[in-house]
Amino acid sequence: MEHTEPAVQIFDRALLPKRLMGDEELAHTICTMFIEDTPQQLSAIEQALEQGDLVEVGKLAHRLKGAAANLTAVRVQQIAHEMERAGNAGHSSLLVNLLPQLQQAFSKLKVEMGKE
Amino acid sequence: MTLNILIAEDDSVSRHILTAIVSKWGYNPIAVADGRAAWELMQQEDPPQLALLDWEMPEMDGLEVCRRIREENPFSPPYIIILTGRTDTVDIVRGLDAGANDYVSKPFKNDELHARIRTGKRMVDLQNELVAAKNALAHAATHDPLTGIFNRAGILDRLDAEMERARRAGSRIAIALCDIDHFKQVNDTYGHQAGDAVLRCFATGIKNALRPYDAVGRFGGEEFLVIAPDCHETEARGLFERLRSRVEEQTTSTNAGIVSITVSMGVVINSGTTAVDFLLATADKALYQAKNGGRNQVVFAAV
């Protein structure tokens, strides 16, 4: 079902420049920053999950959620939010399922952001 | 002056967006990545007066920063807006109870955040005006507008503090009631404007002749009180005799001509244990003796 979702659900490209008062260049810089930073955050989440530190997973997911929300990266934001809740609730099997979804959503987002 | 706004946000994307927006709105953003850095920045001199704090941050969260700032209770506290994804009433209440002034949920809408910052700036401006007015009032309440030195209330406050200090330190304190001789004649002969100039010149002259930790205040019309802490009798005799002769030698140029005056002084030395009223009455008696003895002299009360 995720294969058929419209692009806007992955990333609303018009919104960030609008928030930045039309500053396209800054929007681009911030998107690049997000794309460069996120893989580290994803591996940190993975590592914390392997170590069973679910509280840390929750915190990291919370931060990623905030970053994604700023870019209106809807899917990443949603999954990160679910992971934050699962982490805080100590729900490790759910987290194990959600992590690949998050990684996949980020890959799609990267592709979508790469399109000019 | 551009308002400095502290931005504390651990997510670098959000931090950059906030910094960019705040700067485009014409404020001066100062961004840090965790709560401890925010708290340290708020400890510095002249800290930002408005702060946007993310709730969830490593090292120290936004709420803890709020709590510490309120606990410290600075003279001019910052206006704090907490930013968070939490929207439950219980969280909002926790945030405000921790000492936040306002609360914006993330992802924030530009227009709303801007409006809330404007609200904050209004409060900061108002607070700055209040602080300035309070300082001006405190100064006016303790200082004499004509001479610029302490007024009666100001010098009596100082006397209380110095008596307390002398008591604790086991030291001696000398106080002198000084009265300009025949001041009424100065006013009658040269006019009130010249009289005012003489008072100003007298006050400045005494102030400049004192040690840095001494104090002088205008006690009434032409009467002044000098406080010299940590001062033994020998020292006090030297000090007040020097003041007396300085006044005698000094002249004041007024619009009605050059005026010379002399001063009489009643001095009492104490260890800070006597009631202030009694001490002042004793100094006043000594002053009376100085006047009776022919003026232009210093009389020490026998205590």
CATH of the domain at A73: 1.20.120.160
* CA–CA gap between residue B49 and residue B96 (Å, rounded): 18
Q: What is the C-alpha separation between B173 and B75, in angstroms, rounded?
A: 32
Residue A85 lies in a domain: yes
Residue with the larger pLDDT of the pair A24 and B30:
B30
φ, ψ (nearest 5 deg) of residue B191: 95, 165
**Does residue B249 have an active-site annotation?**
no
Residue B292 has pLDDT above 80, yes or no: yes
Q: Which of B54, B107, B110 is opposite residue A69, by nearest beta carbon?
A: B107
> Which residue has better confidence, B215 or A20?
B215
Query: Do residues B99 and B69 lie in contact, with contact meaning Cβ atoms separated by under 8 Å?
Result: yes
pLDDT at site A64? 93
To the nearest whole Å, the CA of A27 is away from the closest chain B CA by 9
Residue A1: inside a domain: no
Superfamily classification of domain B4-140: Response regulator (3.40.50.2300)
Number of domains observed in the structure of chain A? 1
- Say how far apart CA B286 and CA B171 lie, in whole Å: 22
Report how far residue B60's alpha carbon sits from residue B71's, in angstroms, rounded to the nearest whole number: 15
> Which pLDDT does position B132 carry in this prediction?
93
How would DSSP label each residue in B142-157? Answer: HB-TTTSSB-HHHHHH
- Cross-strand partners of B193: none
Q: Domain of A25?
A: 7-114
As annotated, the residues of chain B forming the CATH 3.30.70.270 domain(s) are 152-300
pLDDT at B117 over 80: yes
Residue of B nearest to A81 (CA): B85
Amino acid B202: pLDDT: 96
Burial code (b: 16+ CB inside 10 Å, e: under 16) for A38-63 equals beebbebbbebbeeeebebbbbbbbb
List B9, B64, B162, B222, catalytic entry: B222
Q: Tell me, what's the pLDDT at A1? A: 47
What percent of chain A is modeled with pLDDT above 90? 53
d(CA B206, CA B261): 13
> Which residue intervals of chain B bear CATH 3.40.50.2300?
4-140
- Select the residue of B10, B14, B58 nearest A70 (Cβ to Cβ): B14
Cis previous bond, B29, omega within 30: no
Task: Please report whether residue A2 resides in a domain.
Answer: no
Contact at CB, B12 and A33, closer than 8 angstroms? yes
Contact B132, B117 (CB under 8 A): no
Instruction: Write the pLDDT tens digit of every residue in B21-55.
Output: 999 999 999 999 999 999 999 999 889 999 999 99
Q: Which residue of A has its CA nearest to B110?
A: A19
Indicate yes or no: CB of A70 within 8 angstroms of CB of B56. no
> For the domain bounded by B152-300, which CATH number is listed?
3.30.70.270
B77 CA: distance to closest CA in chain A (Å): 28
Q: B121 pLDDT exceeds 90? A: yes
Whether A115 has a pLDDT exceeding 80, the answer reads: no
Helices marked H in chain B — which ranges? 12-24, 35-43, 62-72, 89-97, 110-142, 152-169, 183-190, 192-209, 233-249, 276-292
